[in-house]
Amino acid sequence: MDTTHDFESERPLVVVANRLPIEYDEAEGWHPAPGGLVAALESVLRDREALWIGWSGRFEDPDSDAEQAPPPPTGTGSLKLDEVPLTHAEVEGYYEGCSNGAIWPLYHDAIVTPIYHRTQFQAYRRVNEKFARHVAEVAPPEAVVWVHDYQLQLVPRMLRQMRPDLRIGFFLHIPFPPVEIFSQLPWRRQILEGLLGSDLVGFQTKEAALNFLRLVQKYVALRPGGDRVVVDELSGSRTVRVEAFPIGIRAQDFAELAADPATIERAAQIRADLGDPELILLGVDRLDYTKGIDVRIRAVTELFQDEDLDPDSTVFVQVATPSRENVEEYQRIRDDVELLVSRANGDIGKLGTTPIHYLHQPMRRDELTAMYVAADVMLVTPLRDGMNLVCKEYVACRTEEDGALVLSEFTGAAHQMSDAWLVNPYDIDGVKRSILDAAQSAPQESARRMSALRHGVFEHDVERWASDFLNRLQGSL
């Protein structure tokens, strides 16, 4: 499949994100950082001349345990790295507090109640200004600056006031909520005006873009014209474009790794380690309350209890990578998930049989790919997700066009992947029916669906996402 997409510009490219693509620990030193945003951007930027600005994960406080960490490397090859130093207090207020205690749950349909603290928003504003000032100091003249995600929504306006010569784009990787939900945010106007500092604001779905346009009209008293908003400033009027750019993955990389003999051998070993079951169900997520991990565990458990699935011939593997473990809601979901797994195995399991395998640990890419190859049915059931790349990774790894994908309709990916078995994750009975339908589908039906899914994943890969966004930002499309 041809996945070549071009972005050419004489302007320098500067990427701004909360985190750099590396992090430090004493055992490994500086090494690649986890996370979907980092993985997506790194795969795009590895072949481009660019400067990546972000926080390294180390603290500049003198009392920090991480203070002895050496400065991060400045980059290799065409990708250069530039650190924005943060203190413990800044991270606690800006990231753990406002970003993940207020904005993250609000943007995910307030699945858990957002907590609004004025002092935390003040920290959020200060850190956004810190990022903006750093970019203003180091960005080359007339550079293209691409700001990413919910932690930095005030940066575009601040940066424009400091450096009007820059071409500024913003992309939100998570959902953007409807008017009825966003309206409760005490700082709604500041956020909207912050984003309108961009020349281009990008979202994962058309619905998210429309939500933003409606909110701009309601709270900023600007009347959008289609996908454009005209902003009046002292220097004159300026047009902001608002569009959807669904993110993809580097699909060819996953396909090649899945076809590697070492991966195929490891996938066979995984099946053997699980007792050579007839059916393997797989879930892979960050341990987050938005991911619906508890939903699918309950659904699979009931299928075992109802004898629709045989625990002697079926295994469910749930990988949950650690995430934000010092945040109370994340501690709670971990406790809930572990209790569900232990109860299910206690009620259903037999000597020598473990129907549900739960792995709470980071997973290397090669091991994860082997799991994708080994699994017969992939379960992706978030309660809300901006896109979700796990489902695309699984599809890219199904080089024989077999396997099945059960996918929440509340993911951005569902808009592109209608050939999956789509489910409402709040409907346990519906999830159960879809899991059975996917597991018991005829080989011809599975192949038809997987072929269509793979075509979409390769057609709309991460290179296309980046090129479409950057070309639109440059005004060349």
Q: Residue 447's closest CA among 403, 393, 399? A: 403
Spatial separation of the C-alpha atoms in residues 17 and 36, rounded to whole Å: 12
Q: What is the pLDDT of residue 77?
A: 67
The residue among 326, 305, 311, 278 whose CA lies nearest residue 100 is: 326
CA 218 distance to own-chain centroid: 28
Give the pLDDT band of residue 18 (cuts 50, 70, 90).
very high
Q: Residue 52: its pLDDT value, please?
A: 94
Mean pLDDT of the chain: 91
Alpha helices by DSSP H, listed for 139-247, are: 155-162, 179-182, 188-195, 206-219
Nearest to 215 by CA among 186, 245, 177, 160: 177
**Angle, in degrees to the nearest 10, between helices 443-459 and 251-259:** 130
- pLDDT digits over 251-265, tens only? 999 999 999 999 999
User: Which residues are CB-contacts of 467 (< 8 A; sequence separation ≥ 6)?
Assistant: 5, 6, 7
Q: Give the Cβ contact number of residue 456 at 10 Å.
A: 19
CA dist., res. 322 & res. 172, Å (int): 23
Greater model confidence, 176 or 56: 176
Check whether 239 has a pLDDT greater than 90: yes
| pTM for the structure as a whole | 0.93
Quote the tokens at residue 128: 């956004």
| CA–CA separation, 348 and 340 (whole Å) | 12
In terms of C-beta distances under 8 Å and separation of at least 24 residues, what long-range contacts does 95-103 make, across chains too? 95/18, 95/127, 95/151, 96/324, 96/326, 96/327, 97/123, 97/124, 98/123, 98/124, 99/18, 99/124, 99/150, 99/151, 100/324, 100/327, 101/327, 102/185, 103/150, 103/151, 103/153, 103/185
Strands 314-321 and 279-286: parallel
Outline where 236-364 has alpha helix (H): 251-259, 261-273, 293-305, 328-348
Which tens digits make up the pLDDT trace of 68-120? 567 777 766 688 999 999 999 999 999 999 999 999 999 999 999 999 999 99
Q: Amino acid letter at 186?
A: P
At 301-314, the pLDDT tens digits run 999 999 999 999 99
Return the higher-pLDDT residue of 243 and 58: 243
Rounded to 5°, angle at Cα 14 from 244 and 172: 25
